[in-house]
Every structure is written in structure tokens, then in C-alpha cells.
Chains A and B, each alone.
Chain A
Amino acid sequence: MKNNFLTRILPSLLRSFFSQKLAKNRSPQWLVLVSAIALLFVIGGNWHIPARSNGFDTPVLIASDCPTEATPASNAQTEANAVEAPAPIATSVSNVKANTDASETPALVAKTEIAPYPSDVQRLIQQGYMTVGTLGFDTPPFYFEQNGKLQGSDMELARNIGKLLDLEVRFDRNSPTFSDLIEKTARGEVDMAIGKLSVTMPRLKQLHASPSYIKFKQALLINRTQLATLGGKDSQSIQQILREEPIEIGVIGRSSYQRYAEQNFPNAKIVGFKSWTEATEAVEKGDVFAIYRDEAEIKKIMLGQPQLALKLKSVLFNDLEDNKAIFVNVNNPQLAHIIDHVLTDVYEPWTTERLIEEFHEVFTNPEFASK
């Protein structure tokens, strides 16, 4: 009723009062009457300020009216996604959280109704864990098994995301290739995929890609003798060879680099190898002109197998980047938002220099060089 007065009756009275029609014959008595009625409503009422509008057509929940009991974790989560949350009810709750302080008003929080989480997060909370898909083979220092434990920078990132969500992280390593992992994620068999995965258009068509958590340049490892034979000695001559000569370039078969190679070296024959180790052996023997991958993998070979420095030359491309992302199934929108937020605002992306500094032992270990 009080709200009706403020939103409907009072504006209507004011409009009438100031309208052209009434303006001609308005009197002081009329003015006093209107002001008195307004004053009575204002002073006598138990006034409540409604919560900020959420922009949706759903009723706005008032904090004092919400009986939901929210956990600190869920509070943090909803706070984090206050702006982007798609579900109207969730947005309402988050907006309330944005305008009230849970620590100062425990009574209000205690009274809040059980707010349903977005279905994907709700499912994860109910099951208590999330499944993280990664590759079946080791690529140190990103993901590798040592002393029976899965380790590496990517694995730590996945565990940290799980920690933020109060979830146990279960790794699924049943993907022998990058494509298998992407397909598995698209089918929803894992909640997210991580494993130095490059962002490519086919992958983007299937899955949500997070912001980059590793920033790399694309790179080649070239057989020095073949390079000398073709007369490559400076950046111009090497560029010409790469763009025009019918050279052979090795990549890991069915990886993103197979696609990159086809795009970037149109005159070259692209040779797909089963593993990076095989590709490295091929370029060392001179079976292929060069092998193609990101700069971290190239530097790992140069540092871990320095005996190859006499035979192989590393070349980094200033104008070709390969940034790595976490892939999430499109049916997990809230999980995707959380990961995006963590990588944008919390996590500092890795660079090759930082990786070498942090994982120097891995980079200089010959065992890991071409893994």
C-alpha cells in the first residue's frame, strides 16, 4: 500500500497539481491538502528501500524477506559472478550480496531462502568433485607424473580452481590425443579440459575457451645443415625458405600445430608424427627440414638436449602467437565464468622465461626434453 502511494498516487497527484489545466484555478488550500497527505504517509510509514533493480522482470527479493542460508563459499562464488550470472534468481541473490555485508548482517543471511545455483555448479557441489580432462601422455613441466603424482603448472592451476570451488579435482587421463580430449570435453565426459591446449577455430566452435593462462610464440627447430644447404643465414633468407621452398615440416599428428602448419607454410609438406620424441629424432637425422611447436617445447629440447645445439637451430616467430586456454563444455556456463574470472583477475599468465625459471630442473632434464 505504502509502495503504491509512492509509486502511483503521489506522482499522479503531483502531475495533476502541476498540469496546465489545474494551474489556472489552483488555490493555497489545494496545495496545503496535498502536502499534508504526503507528509502523513512519509512520517507515519515503516519505510523500506527496495533492493537495486536487476534489470530483469522478476520480483526483487528483499534481504530481510529471504530465508536462504548461504555458505561462505557460495557467497564468494556468487559475488564473483554478480554481473555475468544469467539466471534471474541467482542474479537477485548476488545483487543482494553486492549491496549488503554478510559478516555484518548474519541474521539477514541466515534468513535467506535456499537459492538454487546454476545447474552446472549445483551439480558439481552436489557430487563434491569436478572432473578435469588432460592428456594421457606427459608434457613436463605442464602435466607429468612424478613419484606417482600428477604434477605440473597446468595441474596446479586445475587444483587451484577446484580449491576455490571447494571441490575435489579428479583427473581423467584417458585421452591419447589432443583431439580426443577436446571431443571428450564436448561430449561432457569431463567438466573442463586443460593440457597446454591451443585455441583454434574448430575448438572454439565446440567449446568455451578461457582467457590465455600461458602466452607463447610459435617456434621452429630447424636442421642447421639443411638450412645452410638452402642458403638460410639471416631473417630474410630464412623467411623466404619457409614461405616458398618445398620443405618438410614435422608436427605432432592431429595437434593444433598440424592445422597451424598447413595455414602458415603453404608450400611445405607437413609430416605428422605420433609423438614429439619421434619428430625430434626426425629433424636431428635430417629426415625433415624443421619441427614446429610452441617456444617452450623448442627451448626444452635446446636446454634438455644441448648436444643438439650443433645440429639444430631454434627460430621464434614474432608475429605468430600460441596462447593456451582451458576448455569448458558449453553446458557448464557458470563454471566457465568462474574460470574466466580466475584467469583474468587472479592468475598471472605464464611466459616461457617464467616457466624456465620456475621449472629449471625440468627444462634441463634430458629425460623430459622431447616429451
Chain B
Amino acid sequence: MKSPQLSSRGLNMLRHIPKVFKHPLFIFAITIGGAAIGFLQPDLAINLNLLGSIYLNLLKFCIGPIVLSCVALGIFDLLSQRSSWWFIIRLIGFLVVGIAACAAIATAIGLIAAPGKSMSEDTLRSLGVILNANIVDFSLNLNGVNTIPPPEPIFQTLLHQLIPDNAIAPLVANETLKLIVVSGILGVGMAFIPRDKAENLRSLLISLRLTFNKILLLLTYILPFALFSIVSYTVATVDGEIFLGLLTFIIATIAGFFLISALSIGLIILRSKEKFSLTLSSLLQVSVVALATQSVMATLPQALNSLSEDVKASNNEVNISLPLIMTLGRFGNVAYFAIATILAVFIYNKTLGLSLVLVAILLNIFSGIATAGAVGIATLTMLGITLEVLQIPTETMVTLLIIIDPIIAPVRVLLTVLVSMVVAAWAAPLDSEVKHPEPLLDTVLT
């Protein structure tokens, strides 16, 4: 008699499991648990990393098809169905405002926190030990010839990274920037062929996107376990010495980034026509994926779904704009460079005036954007653009940033994702606002 009751209770509980897995408190508990294991049992945490890396690979496996389908469909719809130059102007405007705001807010946070100001001898000593271990002996010929590889101009490098020589290669190599260009060209091409002929490819792209969306949905069920593995691994591999050495800087950066992220969530909620709780819950889920995966593009599918389904922003505009913004608008890097510049200014006792602050903000916008083509640690070397102009030693600063990157990377990704969503949400019209304007393609052709 009891077993049917039990089984129905069990089924009931099973039905609730997905909800439990997505609950913020559960995610928080998992994060704390992962951090504890990483701290107390680092060897176990390193062994557990397998699950996290499998999850990340599965996420990355979905990025290519989703970017391809989103951008191609977005461009195609933009040119052939309904959109306007106004959207493009708004997009550029919000992108510029977003980047400038990130640089300014982060600089202000840096100035308030003043990381690197009057560092203790012990702190400098521990940082020095780390630097000595990481900086290779520099040697040169005083009288002989010193050969160095010629520097590649940033603009040329960016162009080189933008233009693919093979339509399939960017998809295979997960080169997002080139994939966006390939997808854009595909979308433009589709708009130039007869509508009925393009429809087959359009349907295929829609199917592709829906399929991978479903795969992503299924992946969210193993997210907590992956999160546990990723967090524990990160904590196990972080250098405690440097964490203590740059404690003020790390705390200021994390706090500042969370502040900008919270502002972003507020702005998206303000834009959303859905219930506050629903939008907030959706954005928190995106945030968790961003923090866990530490990859902006790995968060793209979730962010697209969140904006389209929960914020109710226009599907086409979001599909086309968000991948582009996430790739080009390196908000996290801009903000990070701003705080790091202030740290360097204090460490090297540079005279801090209004002109220096303004120059630093401008330079950091430029160096942050220059990271668009770079991936991983290479992005941090772009800070050199700012520091060289300000005549601050670059090598030591970049080395320190590289060492603490495992701690900062999650919040930097979070900031980039959420600010990108703000720009896309405010640039794209809401579904309710769409008034079916003239096809952009006609305007272009005439």
C-alpha cells in the first residue's frame, strides 16, 4: 500500500530537482562547497576538474553553431524584413556609452580604494618573490646586434583576425570574431537571393539554433556539478601569497565589478516588460554561467535566451547585436585595465592629477577594445598600451595581472556579459515596440 505513495512522492521530488538545481541558494551553496574543497583538499579538487572541463567543452561545442545561426539570421532579417538605421545608431551609441561608463566607474573605484598606495614591506616582498619566479632573466648584447621580432601593428592584427580565408575554418577552430564575419557575409548573401530560395537555408539555421538551444537547456542540469568542480579547481590553483599581496586591489576589483554588474542588472530589469522576479532570476542564471565558465562566448546562448524570452527584446536585433557586442565590447577588460592603471600609478608613485586620470580613461578604452581579437592571457598584455604612454613599467604589472587572473577572470567575464546585455537590451526594440519599418536592404540598394 505504501509503495505507490512513496513512488508518487519520489516522482514529485524528481520533478522538483531541476528547479532546485537552478535555485540561487543551491548555486550559492555549491559555490561555497567547491571553494571549501579547493581550499582544504586541493589534490582532490584538481582531480575533480575533469567534470568541469567536460562541461566547458560541451558549452564551447554549442557556441559555433549558435553564433552562426544567430548572426546569419539576424543580418538576413535586418536586411530583408524589418529594421532600421536607427537601431544601428542606437547600438553604436550604447556601445560607446557602455565602454566609457565602465572605464569611468572603474577608475573612480580605483581612486577610492587606492590599491598599491603605501604597500607594506612584507607585501612588496611577497610580490617580489612572485615576480622573480615568473620573470625570465633579461639579457642582451651591449655591443653586438640584438634581434627582436618586428612588432605587428594592432590594427593590422585586428584586421587579420577579422577576415577569414576559409568559410568553415572559424567554426572548426572556434574563432568567434571570424565566425561572426563569416555569418554576417552569409546573412548578406541570403538577403540577395530570392526569398523563396533563401527560406530553406533560413529554416535550416532556425532548426540549428533550436537544436543547440535544447542541448544547452539540458546542460544546465549538470551546471551545479560542473560549477562545484570549476570553483574547487580555481581555488586549489590560486596562489595564496599573491592573493594576500594584492588583497586591496583584488577586493576593489571584485567589489567594483559586482557593483557595475548590479547596475547592469538594474538597467536590464528597467528595460524588461516582464515581472521583476522573472527577469532577475533569468539574469542570475546567466551570471552563474558566466562566473562558472569564465568565458564570455560560452554564456552567449544563455544570454540570448534571457534577452529574447525574459526581457522580450526583439529577437532579430538581439540575435545580431549580442554576439557582436560581446566580441567587440570588452567592457570587463576596459574596467579591469582602469583599476590596474590606478594600481600601477600608486605603486610607481606617479603624480595623480585630473589630466592623468582623463588620459588613463581614454587610453584604457582604447587598450580594452584592442583586446577584441586576443584570447586568454594575451588580452592582459594590451594594458601595456596605456602604461607605456603613462611611462609606467609594464612588465611587472602585466606579470602580476597574469598571476592573479584566475581570481579576477570570473568577475571580468560577468561584467562583460551583463554590460553587453544592457547595450543589446537598450539598443534593440522590445517586441511590443516593433513597428515593421521598411526593409533595410531596399534603403541600401537605392
Contact = CB atoms under 8 A, between A and B. Distances in A.
Nearest to A305: B128
A77 B137 CA distance: 44
B144 A319 contact: yes
A270 to B, nearest CB: 15
Interface in A233-281: 233-236, 238-239, 242-243, 264
B138 to A, nearest CB: 5
B305 to A, nearest CB: 45
Contact of A307 (B128, B141, B348, B395): B128
A317 B221 CA distance: 58
Contacts of B146: 234-236, 239
A14 B139 CA distance: 73
Contact of A318 (B132, B144, B348): B144
Contacts of A236: 146, 148
Nearest to A366: B125
Nearest to B134: A309
B149 to A, nearest CB: 9
A36 interface: no
B388 A233 contact: yes
B142 A243 contact: yes
A320 B142 contact: yes
B142 A317 contact: yes
Interface in A276-323: 302-303, 305-311, 313-320
Contacts, number: 98
Interface residues of B, number: 31
B348 A239 contact: no
A317 B141 CA distance: 5
Interface residues of A, number: 33
A228 interface: yes
A228 B395 CA distance: 10
A238 B140 contact: yes
A308 B393 CA distance: 13
A25 interface: no
B280 interface: no
Contacts of B127: 306-307, 309-310
18 contacts: A217-B139, A225-B392, A233-B388, A233-B394, A235-B146, A239-B140, A305-B128, A306-B128, A307-B125, A307-B128, A309-B135, A309-B396, A310-B127, A311-B348, A314-B137, A316-B139, A319-B141, A320-B143
Interface of A: 217, 224-225, 227-229, 231, 233-236, 238-239, 242-243, 264, 302-303, 305-311, 313-320
Q: Which 7 A-B residue pairs are closest in the complex by CB-CB distance?
A: A306-B128, A307-B124, A309-B128, A235-B146, A224-B393, A235-B140, A316-B139
